[in-house]
Structure 1
Amino acid sequence: MIACHECDLLQRERPVPVNGVLRCCRCRAALYRRQTGGLDRPLAYALAALALFALANAFPIVGLSVNGDLVETTLFGSVRVLYRDGMWPLAALIFVTTLLMPLLQALGIVWLLLPLRLGRRPYRADLVFRLLHVAQSWGMTEVLILGLLVALVKLAHIASVVPDIALWSFGALMLLLAAAAAAFDPRELWARLEGPPDVSRHAAAEAAAAPSAHSSAIWPASLAASASFSAPTAAGCLRCVCHDCGLLSAPLTEADDGAHRHALRCTRCGSRLHLRKPNSLARTWALLLAALVLYLPANLLPVMHTSSLFGAQKDTIMSGVVYLWTSGSWPLAVLVFIASIAVPMLKILAIGFLAASANLRSRWQPVQRARIYRAVEMVGRWSMLDIYVIAILTALVQFNALATITAGPAAIAFGAVVVLTMFAAMSFDPRLTWDTRQITHGTSS
């Protein structure tokens, strides 16, 4: 038996063709993908990514030439400039999302798979697997690449732009990390670590766990998606599904009640287990309101200060969009407008709608609300685009009296909006969308 991590529906595993995806028959969430190539392909991709990561950080990303003066910067150099200018929250955010997390992602895959390739068991595989899950959520190399392209367009109007080897290295690194993540199969990893399953014991456990009235059911999608269909859920059977490795826990007992229930951990990867995320809606609303408060200064205050021989200029996010549009780069202007202005507000509205409907225990279109939740999770990271543009511009445009760009106060506010909305989406428990009536087994909202 498996349980959907988004709607909590209990269902039996079904055979999946090579490169196929098994989806929940109720909410259509992807339960798992069957990969080809075993564990060798992601290991090869991760090793190549580590080599490119070293190359990308050893050489400058881009150079800017003005009147014979050449200014070059690495990604870490951009972080250092922001820190020197007093923008340490922004520097920390860029360091974590573009340097630390991509490195942890590649290292985590190598740490887990290389020992298996050599016939050994990786040390603390449970902890490394959890760190890998976090790194994949917060690593934003693909957004960085897009930010670099936008920055190059802006810099081309100031001086001669000289792309360096690190720019191409980061592009290749982005592709390799994406390929490693796509080829990495957690189910095969745990199958290798745990060894062949005890078939008789596994069958007995499934028979004991499955609800008797639905023990052989594979729910038709039209029936399972119906709000009036009382489908068996993991929480209804007092079982927790691990959001990191997908393992369905054994049924909770009376001894697991009270404070002990909040200390439950997955027996496989060690992640915390909950029937529902504790205080999910309260935390979601708190993070959402904080993001909404910061959204106004993020868009009204200057995000960059430019000083030159012709005077000083303060730019907001919207003025940057206007500049790109009037300079003929309208595709990038549209892209920046969507990523930096439209997406954050739409995320706030979407998460607010999901939280409000969960508070009201609405039965309206749960499948559509599940799709909204997945869309919010997918596009959330792209709002970091403007932050990376600012980092590159402030690091490169440092020509003393000739021209200097520094980050403005709105940059920190905007970065906080992005992080808060991402945390709000993570805090929201999508299973609450399907809880159309109060679950009596200790659900916390």
Structure 2
Amino acid sequence: MAHDNLTLCHECDLLQCNPPLPPGGESRCVRCGCALHKHRPNSLDRTLALTLAGLVLFIVANSFPFLSFQMQGLETQTTLLSGIKDLALQGKGEVAAVVLFTSILAPGLQLLLLLIVVLPLRFGRPPPGLPRLFRWFQQLLPWGMMDVFMLGILVSVVKLMDMATIVPGTALFAFVVLIFVLAGAQAALDPDQVWERVPVPPRARRSPRTGEQVLGCGVCELVVPEQAATERGDAPHCPRCGHRLHRRKPMSLQRTWALVIAALVFYVPANLFPIMTVTSLGKTQSDTILSGVVFLLHHGMWPLAAVVFVASIFVPLLKLLILTLLLLSVQLKSRWRPRERTRLYRITEAIGRWSMVDVYVVTILVALVHLGNLASIQAEAGAVFFCAVVIITMFAANAFDPRLIWDEIDRGRPLRVTS
């Protein structure tokens, strides 16, 4: 059996056959239900077209006014970078760096890397350094949060409706379209069609022998016999993309525990301290995350209040509880419902990024409202703590190895291939 026909599930470590797929077809792990492969027809053509459109929209979104704030004859215009600059000037450089990376740098780098990879491949010429470039693109995927930023814009507009007039700019319309274009490019891209164009050394082409240990690459998903990955005598590396191979993530439990505890420590001040102070016509009011939810409720915005409450208060706590449950279950060598625990882990990966909405709200409001004593908004310590909670929980979810859930189930079982 050729190595391309094998898949090692990155969530439960089950070795199984990867069957041919019809256009639009999808394969899932027979044990944990993890999505393994999906056949996307005309992948390179569609991805290239959407990437080129996305780059044009990205330039427009970062070159023109984003929103305008008009109050008593005075006006403030903002661009995507305005809030980031203002946060840095207010001494919140940590938050500014996170917002800059997640709302501008990560999406921009994704588009640029896609263009560098897909354009040469479309004409049959793999670019130099293809494995490294595409590996960087895949690692950036969780950190591009333009969709979350858009939700932050909606919340910000609602908060300012009673204070002043908000006028959308050209960049906002480009930004909205860019969200869908970038999502479409990511959905159209078939990673298998990229990796199959990277040659595999002869030493890694053979199929694993019965009972032989194999390693699966978490980046290009190549299944390789362990001996073939370590023939050079150094640490195991993927023969195709060069990624460091591990049977399990190094010190996964210790790193995850440390990050979960740190996030719990930051979660308390993040919810107790104000995240911003609003000054309007000489009156000053400090808002916490919860008081922001109450504000939306008082203005009849029940759906938006529910979204903010879930994203900013419930989701971070839920992630911490789920990760704690998973850590304890692994350390206690529990065999309880491994498939359901794997699904819980999948949830923590999917929902964590949406907690950034309040950080983006602060960024947008700080950029829009700075009219001196007439109206201004200052970011406070709560925003720093809350931003730390979001980022730390994302790192914690990434540090946890879901294959540990299945180790107790697999203990003593011989290697087998499932079709």
What TM-score range do you get, normalising by the shorter chain? over 0.9
Q: Point out the more displaced range, 364-373 or 113-122.
A: 113-122
Cα 1:125/1:149, change in 2 over 3 Å: same
2:243 is matched with which residue? 271
Cα deviation for residue 274 of structure 1 reads 0.1
- What is the CA-CA distance between 1:123 and the residue it aligns to? 1.6
- What is the CA-CA distance between 1:194 and the residue it aligns to? 3.1
1:57 maps onto 2:93 in alignment = no
Displacement after TM superposition at 1:399 (Å): 0.8
The aligned amino acid for 2:109 is L
Percentage of pairs with the same residue = 46
Q: Does 1:12 align with 2:24?
A: no
1: CA distance, partners of 2:99 / 2:373? 27
Q: What CA distance in whole angstroms lies between the structure 2 residues aligned with 1:339 and 1:350?
A: 15
Distance 1:385 1:154 in 2: 14
- What stretches of structure 1 of length at least 5 have no aligned partner? 212-236, 441-445
Whether 1:188 aligns to 2:193 is yes
CA–CA distance in 1 between the matches of 2:323 and 2:373? 46
SS in 2 for 1:313: strand
Q: In 2, Cα distance between the equivalents of 1:95 and 1:20?
A: 37
Contact 1:287 1:420 in 2 (8 A): yes
Letter in 2 for 1:397: V
- Say whether 1:89 aligns with 2:61: no
Q: Give yes or no for contact 1:209–1:251 (8 Å, CA) kept in 2.
A: no
SS in 1 for 2:27: strand
Query: Is 1:339 the equivalent of 2:296?
Result: no
**Cα distance in 1, alignment partners of residues 230 and 187 from structure 2:** 40
Q: How far 1:61 moved relative to its partner?
A: 1.3
1:313 to 258, 262, 285: 285
- 1:323 alignment partner, one of 295, 314, 321: 295
Paired residues of 1:61 and 1:163 also in contact (CA < 8 A): yes
CA deviations on 1:108-162 (whole Å, 9 max, x unpaired) are: 1111111122332212111111110121111111111111111111121210010
- 1:150 matched to which residue of 2? 155
How far residue 437 of structure 1 moved from its aligned partner, in angstroms, is 6.2
Letter in 1 for 2:159: K
C-alpha distance in structure 1 between counterparts of 2:337 and 2:345, whole Å:
13
**TM-superposition CA deviations, 1:358-379 (whole Å, max 9, x none):** 1111100001001101111110
Distance, in Å, in 2 between the alignment partners of 1:355 and 1:377 is 15
Which of 368, 375, 381 is matched with 1:396 structurally?
Answer: 368
Q: 2:214 is matched with which residue: 225, 232, 239? A: 239
One-letter identity of the residue aligned with 1:144: F
Q: Give 1:308 deviation, angstroms.
A: 2.7
Provide the residue aligned with 2:379 in structure 1.
407
Letter in 2 for 1:186: P
Q: TM-score, normalised by structure 1?
A: 0.88
One-letter amino acid matched to 2:128: Y
* Equivalence for 2:388: 416
Measure, in 2, the Cα distance between the counterparts of 1:174 and 1:113: 20
Q: 1:27: which partner in 2?
A: 32
Q: Secondary structure at the match of 1:435?
A: helix
**Contact between 1:344 and 1:417, CA under 8 Å: does it hold in 2?**
yes
Counterpart in 1 of 2:131? 126
CA positional deviation for 1:256? 7.2
CA distance in 1, matches of 2:401, 2:210: 24
Mapped contact 2:229–2:236 kept (Cα < 8 A):
no
- Deviation, structure 1 residue 245: 1.2
* Amino acid across the alignment from 1:422: M
User: Are 2:74 and 1:69 aligned?
Assistant: yes
Q: Is the aligned partner of 1:296 residue 2:268?
A: yes
Matching residue's letter, 1:238? Q
The gaps in structure 2 that reach 5 residues or longer are: 1-5, 413-419
Change (3 A) 1:254 1:143: closer
Cα distance, 1:346 vs structure 2: 0.3
CA contact (8 A) 1:264 1:273 kept: yes
Instruction: Summarize the Cα distance change of 1:254–1:9 in structure 2 as closer, same or farther, 3 Å threshold.
Output: closer
SS at match of 1:341: helix
CA contact (8 A) 1:7 1:27 kept: yes
Counterpart contact for 1:130–1:244, Cα < 8 Å = yes
> Aligned pair 1:41/2:54, yes or no?
no
Distance 1:155 1:210, change over 3 A: farther
Superimposed CA distance per residue, residues 97-116 of structure 1 (whole angstroms, 9 cap, x where no aligned partner)? 01110011111111111112
Q: 1:117 aligns with which of 118, 122, 130?
A: 122
TM-score (norm 2): 0.93
Deviates more, 1:243-252 or 1:25-34: 243-252
Which runs of structure 1 show a deviation greater than 4 angstroms over 4 or more consecutive aligned residues?
Answer: 253-257, 437-440
> Is structure 2 residue 223 aligned with structure 1 residue 252?
no
Instruction: Tell me, yes or no, if the aligned pair for 1:21 and 1:30 is still in contact at 8 Å.
Output: yes
